[in-house]
Amino acid sequence: MTIDFYYLPGSAPCRAVLMAAKAVGVELNLKLVDLMSGEQLKPEFLKINPQHTIPTLVDGDLSLWESRAIIAYLVEKYGKTDSLYPKDAAKRALVNQRMYFDMGTLYDRFATYYYPQIFAKAPANPENFKKMEEAVGFLNTFLEGQTYAAGDSLTLADITLVATISSYDLAGFDLSKYPNVAKWYSNCKATVPGYDINEAGLAEFKKFFSH
Ligand SMILES: N[C@@H](CCC(=O)N[C@@H](CS)C(=O)NCC(=O)O)C(=O)O
C-alpha cells in the first residue's frame, strides 16, 4: 500500500521524517506542498490535516501529523527491530524526553529567534538569542560522555535532534562553543541513514537565510 507524505524538503520536521523513513527502510510517496503559495490552506489539504502543517503522512485510513509522532509510528509499524525506538520503558522514556525537548525547547527557540527575522523582517531579539544558547547548552549537557542522544545506539532522538541542530548550523549559530554537541553532530552526519537527504533539504532551507 502507498504511504503518502506531504512535505517540503527544506522544512526541519519534514527532513526528520525523511531520514527516519530511510532508517526504517520504508518508501514514501512524496507529495510537495508549497507553503509559499498557501497550498496547505486549500480545502483538499485541510481535509487531510485541519491544522494545515507539514509533515503529514497518510497511510491507509490513518492521517498523521507532528513529525515525532510520525517517526514513532513508522518504527512501530514498519521497523524490523525496535532499536530506533526501544520497547523497553526506560529506554523509550529517554528517547521521548529528547524528542519532546527537541520540539518544545530546541526547535521552538530556533523558530522564535529566527522566523520573525526571516518571515517578518523583524529585528533580532538578543533575549531570544540567549534562550537559544541556553537550549543548545542543555543538549551539550545531555550529551556529556555520550555518543548518541539517548542510550547507547542511534535512535529517533538523534534523527529529530540532528534535523534541528543542522538548521542552527545553517543559520550560522556557532556550535563550536558546545563541544559535545559538535562531536555528536559530526558523528550523526556520518552515521544517520539518509543524512544526504537532510543536506539536500538544508540547501533549500538556505534560500530563506540569503534574502
Ligand atoms: N511540531 C510540528 C511543526 C510543523 C510545522 O510547523 N510545520 C510548518 C513548516 S516547517 C508548517 O507546516 N507551516 C505551515 C502552516 O502552519 O500553515 C512538527 O514537528 O511536525
State pLDDT tens for residues 61-77. Answer: 999 999 999 999 999 99
Residue 93 pLDDT class (50, 70, 90 cuts):
very high
Same domain, yes or no: 118 and 61:
no
Same domain, yes or no: 103 and 72:
no
User: What pLDDT does residue 1 have?
Assistant: 81
201 touches ligand 1 (CB under 6 Å):
no
CATH number, domain containing residue 113: 1.20.1050.10
Q: How far is the CA of 145 from the centre of ligand 1 (A)?
A: 33
Q: How far is the CA of 92 from the centre of ligand 1 (A)?
A: 25
Q: Which of 41, 46, 53 to mutate to test the pocket of ligand 1 (most atoms within 8 A of CB)?
A: 53
- For residue 110, tell me if it sits in a domain: yes
What grid cell was written down for 8? Answer: 517540503
Indicate the pTM of the whole model.
0.97
Q: Which of 54, 78, 102 is the last residue of a domain?
A: 78
Close Cβ partners of 145 (under 8 Å, ≥ 6 residues apart): none
Q: How far is the CA of 146 from the centre of ligand 1 (A)?
A: 30
Kindly report the protein residue whose alpha carbon is nearest to atom 12 of ligand 1: 53
User: What pLDDT does residue 211 have?
Assistant: 60
Per the structure, the count of domains in the chain is: 2
State pLDDT tens for residues 3-53. Answer: 999 999 999 999 999 999 999 999 999 999 999 999 999 999 999 999 999
| Residue burial 158-187, b: 16+ Cβ < 10 Å; e: rest | bbbbbbbbbbbbbbebebeebeebbebbee
Q: Is the ipTM of this complex over 0.85?
A: yes
What grid cell was written down for 79? Answer: 521497523
Q: Which of 58, 78, 98 is the last residue of a domain?
A: 78
Rounded-to-integer distance, Cα 202 and Cα 9, Å = 8
Same domain, yes or no: 104 and 203:
yes
